[in-house]
Structure 1
Amino acid sequence: MSYILSKTLIGVISSLMLSINTLFWSMIIFFFALLKLLLPFKPVRILIDRILNGLATNWISCNSGWMRLTQKIRWDVQGLDGLQYENWYLVNTNHQSWVDIFVLQHLLNRKIPFLKFLIKRQLIYVPVIGLAWWALDFPFVRRYSREYLEKHPNMRGKDLETTRKACDKFARIPTSVMNFPEGTRFSTTKQDKQKSPYRYLLKPKAGGIALAMESMGHKFQSLLDVTIVYPDGVPRFWDFLCGVVKRITVRIQHQQIPTRFIDGDYENNAKFREAFQQWLYQLWLEKDERIGQLLAEKNPASISYP
């Protein structure tokens, strides 16, 4: 009983610190976002974008602060060397839990530019944080079912169009574009439904990452292929807040963007699309094998707070 109360208390404290931190930085971000709307001049907007990214970076640093106070995670991380803050990166990662985003932000903050990623359209209505994502130019996309697209074929490709517009904005100042190729969090139910050929992953969707490479390939310093593993099982977000997560393993592979994919046409060139998909499937196969190897390792990670 005392353990449950202690765990719940940590969860409440973590939630309060997360909420206060979010409210504080969001209010400042909203002010500069309003300025950007009122001053529609490109040089001014670029300057304000840099200020907004700096504020968001401080926001993440404060999140890392309360994480260090409330979490005793054993981190096993490789691949953080050689990163540059004043550059562009394409970050490609598997997705299992909301915790993934906090892990990535915590590890990569101030090592590379602020991470931006596609968000489901309905999340813009989440109080405070939804508006903060909008103010920071996170691209919001609508997810349509196959049945809906069959009835409304004109809606096909709308999410790719949103991705292209977002990449045009990201090219102005150093940005890290994060992509979850699976498009959703992993679950065995989803894995069975789509008959995924992978043991630990869903099938990757190539459209978003292909458009990012086409739009910004010459800008990206490299592709950061990130693999996140929870050796003790995939946690719920509440578990994370309560300090239940004891071990997190992360591997980051630095890869050059293949030059043959920079100036291609994923939407209209069938041969290019096939080649790109095969490249991504191979990347995913290697990631699947890596996850299996990491889960099989018996050596616990050392206690550290990166």
Structure 2
Amino acid sequence: MLSGLPSFILMPFAFILFCFNLAFSGTFVFLGGLLKFLIPIKAFHHMLYRPMHTFYRLWAYNNTLIIKLVNPVQWEVIGAEHLSKDAWYLMLANHQSWLDILVIAELARQHTPEPKFFLKESLKKVPFLGMACWALDMPFMKRYSKAFIEKHPHLKGQDIETTKRSCQSFQSNPTSIINFVEGTRITKTKHQTQQSPFNYLLKPKAGGIAFTLATLGEHFDKILNVTLIYPDNRGHIMKDMLKGRLTKIVVHVEQIEVTDALIGDYFADEAFKDNFQLWLNEQWQAKDALIQQLYHQNAQESVVNSQLNQHGSV
């Protein structure tokens, strides 16, 4: 455990370890993507799937080791007991910090298929990044605006069909799609600017989730409502982690059935859009209450532990 080191030493050391881990795993993923590009044979691509995702899992595993190496951190995962690496999931998560990505990756490494992010199709053209994401079968999304469809009605539905084609590998390989529903990390400024009705969350954005369900709804076994909190670290969570000050990570997972009522044309069907937004807001209200409950439980546990420590030192 290195958390006792001064932060001016620990912070750059931890950052270098994370960068080295990303460079190591990323190099092999990029080389795999290059092979996929040079040898456009589906059978060969299928052979590469497992080794490419082994490096993905190795990246997640090493990140967790680094976090534990530099922090006296306790992980508490609730509700993940019956998840399966052979199932298809849509993960909906709140977003507090860049650390959320590493935590989600570790959750997936132990309990679900590797998490994938829907990416804009334009990212395919970004050097190295586009190749690596394509190598890992990240789905690329092409979406037309309502105004564009009105001008080009013959393209209606083509955005979903294009996205479905980019997700063909999901039909044979179990997958988890992650969506940070708020669209950005929460800060006090963003919370105030939005005038969010929630205590611990920003307003949820429904369009991306609805589009994902319209594209892949028939493949998902469950929706996973994932709640992330760092009860002893609020504000600069990633910086606290790099400084060795992260003490607890709480991950709560709720499984939700995928029903026909959640699959529809969000951008053209106003009735469906209203119902979907209502459903998502209800999920977010429940998540906000859960976060308050988790914070309260952690505060009570801290008081009890403090009393026990004082009693033991007498």
Q: State the 1:66 CA deviation.
A: 2.1
Give the structure with the higher percent helix.
2
CA distance in 2 between partners of 1:135 and 1:37 (Å): 9
Identify the residue that residue 175 of structure 1 maps to in structure 2: 175
Equivalent residues of 2:33, 2:134 under 8 A apart: no
Equivalent residues of 1:26, 1:128 under 8 A apart: no
CA distance in 2 between partners of 1:9 and 1:126 (Å): 34
User: Which structure is higher in RCO with an 8 Å CA cutoff and minimum separation 6?
Assistant: 1
After TM superposition, list the pairs within 5 Å mapping 1:1-306 onto structure 2: 6-118=6-118, 132-138=132-138, 154=148, 166-232=166-232, 233-262=234-263, 264-297=264-297, 298-300=299-301
Q: State the 1:234 CA deviation.
A: 3.3
Choose 127-136 or 281-290, whichever is displaced more: 127-136
CA distance in 1 between partners of 2:126 and 2:45 (Å): 25
In structure 1, the gaps of 5 or more residues are: 143-148
Size of the aligned set, in residue pairs, is: 292
Q: State the 1:119 CA deviation.
A: 5.4
Task: Give TM-score scaled by structure 1 length.
Answer: 0.82
CA distance in 2 between partners of 1:218 and 1:245 (Å): 39
Task: Report the residue type matching 1:240 in the other structure.
Answer: M
CA distance in 1 between partners of 2:240 and 2:139 (Å): 28
CA distance in 1 between partners of 2:149 and 2:200 (Å): 31
Inter-CA distance 120–5: structure 2 relative to 1 (3 Å threshold): farther
CA distance in 2 between partners of 1:185 and 1:272 (Å): 28
Q: State the 1:169 CA deviation.
A: 4.8
* Cα deviations by residue, 1:17-65 (Å, 9 ceiling, x for unpaired): 2122111111111111011112223333333233322221122112222
Equivalent residues of 1:163, 1:212 under 8 A apart: no
CA RMSD after TM alignment: 3.4
Task: Report the residue type matching 1:188 in the other structure.
Answer: K
Equivalent residues of 1:223, 1:254 under 8 A apart: yes
Identity of aligned residues (%): 35
CA distance in 1 between partners of 2:206 and 2:133 (Å): 24
- Name the larger-Rg structure: 2
Aligned with 1:72: secondary structure?
Answer: coil
CA distance in 2 between partners of 1:254 and 1:32 (Å): 34
* Cα deviations by residue, 1:169-206 (Å, 9 ceiling, x for unpaired): 54442111000111111122222222222111111111
Identify the residue that residue 146 of structure 1 maps to in structure 2: none
* Cα deviations by residue, 1:108-128 (Å, 9 ceiling, x for unpaired): 313211111245899999996
CA distance in 1 between partners of 2:9 and 2:133 (Å): 29
Equivalent residues of 1:266, 1:272 under 8 A apart: yes
CA distance in 2 between partners of 1:107 and 1:289 (Å): 22
Task: Give TM-score scaled by structure 2 length.
Answer: 0.80
Task: Report the residue type matching 1:60 in the other structure.
Answer: A
Q: State the 1:68 CA deviation.
A: 2.4
CA distance in 2 between partners of 1:299 and 1:166 (Å): 48
Q: State the 1:98 CA deviation.
A: 0.3
In structure 2, the gaps of 5 or more residues are: 151-155, 306-314
Inter-CA distance 65–224: structure 2 relative to 1 (3 Å threshold): same
CA distance in 1 between partners of 2:287 and 2:206 (Å): 15
Aligned with 2:250: secondary structure?
Answer: strand
CA distance in 2 between partners of 1:238 and 1:207 (Å): 31
Task: Report the residue type matching 2:239 in the other structure.
Answer: W
Inter-CA distance 227–14: structure 2 relative to 1 (3 Å threshold): same
Q: State the 1:7 CA deviation.
A: 2.3
